[in-house]
């Protein structure tokens, strides 16, 4: 049994530095959040346009709120960078 022992060596990670891997994952997540924000922004513009056509003030307010939310979600990374100062 002692002859069959083979040491197992850990291979380095694909990206090398663990902080780089976390940074890449963070960039990926923020790009997904940005895509969701852009979809909401487009939906809000569509809602606003339809409300102007049908003269519906309630739908117009919902469209404005959706546009505002889409803008905030789209620029989440920049907002967090401004808040944290980094």
Per residue of the chain (86 residues), give pLDDT as tens: 556 676 666 555 555 688 888 889 999 999 999 999 999 999 999 999 999 999 989 999 999 999 999 999 999 999 999 999 86
| H helix intervals, 1-86 | 18-54, 57-74, 76-84
The pLDDT value given to residue 42: 95
The pLDDT value given to residue 19: 86
How far is Cα 44 from Cα 24, in angstroms, rounded to an integer?
A: 30
Residue 34 lies in a domain: no
The number of domains in the chain is 1
Residue 16 lies in a domain: no
pTM above 0.75, yes or no: no
Residue 13 lies in a domain: no
The pLDDT value given to residue 1: 53
Task: Decide if 67 contacts 44 (C-beta within 8 A).
Answer: yes
């Amino acid at each position: 049994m002692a002859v069959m022992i083979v040491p197992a060596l850990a291979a380095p990670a694909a990206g090398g530095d663990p902080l780089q891997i976390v940074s890449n994952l963070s960039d990926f997540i923020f790009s997904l959040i940005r895509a969701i924000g852009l979809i909401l922004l487009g939906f809000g513009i569509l809602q606003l346009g339809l409300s102007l056509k049908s003269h519906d003030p309630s739908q117009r307010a919902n469209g404005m709120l959706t546009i505002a939310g889409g803008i905030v979600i789209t620029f989440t990374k920049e907002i967090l960078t401004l808040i944290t100062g980094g």
